[in-house]
Amino acid sequence: MTDDEARALIRTTLHQVAPDADLDAVEPGETLQEALDLDSIDFLNLVTGLCESTGFEIPERDYPQLSTLEGAVDYLTGLGSAG
């Protein structure tokens, strides 16, 4: 998965979880939960949606890697090569 594909997937999944969230408003290094006012359930639904879309299980220990947009993109682009 490329960076652009990962960003598109995050955008699509985020729209399903929080339709009013604006991914373009997220500053580099800012957490998605803080920037987009997502609660813990919204974040969990985002991770679950990413799992369903990619077909890869994301273990709970990896959730912190998904907390920022850059981290989530890096994580998703590395999924295919990780295993």
* Whether pTM exceeds 0.85: yes
Residue 12 covered by a domain: yes
Torsion, Cα of 67, 40, 58, 71 (10° steps): -10
Q: Is residue 43 part of a domain?
A: yes
The domain tally of the chain equals 1
Residue 37: which CATH number?
1.10.1200
Residue-level pLDDT at 62? 97
Range of the domain at 37: 3-18+31-82
Residue 78 in domain: yes
Q: Could you tell me if residue 70 is inside a domain?
A: yes
pLDDT in tens, the chain (83 residues): 999 999 999 999 999 999 999 999 899 889 999 999 999 999 999 999 999 999 999 999 999 999 999 999 999 999 876 54
